[in-house]
Amino acid sequence: MSRIRLAQLAVAAASLVLATACSSTAAPAGQSPAAGGDDAHTLSVTGFSGAFADQFKAEVIDPFQKAHPDITVKYRPTTNSAEMLAGLRTNKARATDDIVIIDSSVQRTANEEGLFAKLTEQEVPNLANLVDDAVVQKGYGPALSIDTLAIVYNPSLVKTPPTNWQGLGDKQYAGQLVLQIADTRGIALIAGLSKEMGRDYQDSIDAQLGKLAAMAPNVQTFQPQPNLYDAIRSGSAAIGAGWNARAQALHDQSPEQLAVAVPKGGGVAQISTINRVASSKKTAAANTFIDFAIGTEAQKGLAERGFYGPVDKRVTLPENLKSRVAAKDGLLADAAPIDWAWISPKYADWVQRIQREVIGG
């Protein structure tokens, strides 16, 4: 056989080997490589930043990955629910996230726009074990955690905190108050003020906004940097309204710099929901993660070390935690009523009114 013929046969054989190798690793036409292979077992989870992210990793992600070593969870912290909703809308056709943790007030809008998938007890068995408040919109993502608005203060600057929300307007706090309320905190504060003032926010929020506007002269800033908790801990501000769970955790780190008080009967439940993104292709892994996150182990950890109200009815709070956790037998006893489903379509308008009539007024 001639040298030329041998060379031709060698090239053909090499081409056959290369084609065979490529056919075993390349994805079929029109299919992302992530549909098979390692990426199919990597979940992208978007949620809140700061202390929430730390607690969520410690109490949910780490134990989940220990129990499910075949699934990798990547967490992407985001500033707020409005930012999450914008991202979901932008990527509606092709998901960049598989699971999103978002405020219940914004979740309903996402549900109506088809951004989140419906869930069943067959897919997520722990849906059968939820407390009543954790069923936010039947058939959709459940609550992951329950929190409450609280008065946060520096005990070296404030010896006795106000006993109600209206007390934040006391002249003794002039120039020392921080109110970061152009978001869900402002909505919750309106609900708390409504109960104190004997008003129904479903009728009008004019008087409540007027009360907030009357507090404005006390406000040092409506945009504390990096956040109101650090401003209060450092002593650059004395008092403000923030989330109880985060404040309780920071109190345990530095009790001499930060303390927490929830007005008696003035707790306002705030619910964070956990949702599977409708366009995600990782349905089974996402369902497994959500089921774990709302189950007993994760919820017990979030309650006992993160100070979040548990959504699993099988979790019982120790007596020493009842006065520190947002639960009906704790800080939400006789809470201010708040109907997030009713508020949801009015959320953006209320925030705009806060910005215009309180912050900009």
CATH code of the region 147-269+335-359: 3.40.190.10
Q: Which residue has the higher pLDDT, 46 or 17?
A: 46
Q: Please report the pLDDT score of residue 51 as a whole number.
A: 85
| pLDDT (tens digit per residue) in 203-256 | 999 999 999 999 999 999 999 988 999 999 999 999 999 999 999 999 999 999
**Tokens representing 269?**
């439940």
Whole-number Å distance between alpha carbons of 346 and 175: 31
**Tokens representing 263?**
């007005």
| pLDDT (tens digit per residue) in 41-62 | 899 999 999 889 999 999 999 9
Q: What are phi and psi of 218, to 5 degrees?
A: -80, -15
Q: Please report the pLDDT score of residue 3 as a whole number.
A: 43
Whole-number Å distance between alpha carbons of 213 and 200: 18
Q: What is the mean pLDDT of residues 257-266?
A: 95
Q: Specify the 3-state DSSP secondary structure of 121.
A: coil
Cα atoms in the Cβ-side hemisphere of radius 13 Å centred on 182:
12
Q: What is the mean pLDDT of residues 174-202?
A: 96
Cα atoms in the Cβ-side hemisphere of radius 13 Å centred on 275:
37
| Cβ contact 191:197 at 8 Å | no
Q: Which residue spans of the chain are classified as CATH 3.40.190.10?
A: 38-146+270-321, 147-269+335-359
Strand segments, DSSP code E, in the chain are: 42-48, 72-78, 99-103, 143-153, 177-178, 219-221, 239-243, 259-261, 269-276
Position 200 pLDDT exceeds 90: yes
Tell me which of 3.50.50.60, 3.90.110.10, 3.40.190.10, 3.20.20.70 is the CATH number of domain 38-146+270-321: 3.40.190.10
Q: What totals of helices (H) and strands (E) does the chain contain, helices first? A: 13, 9
Percent of the chain with pLDDT over 90: 83
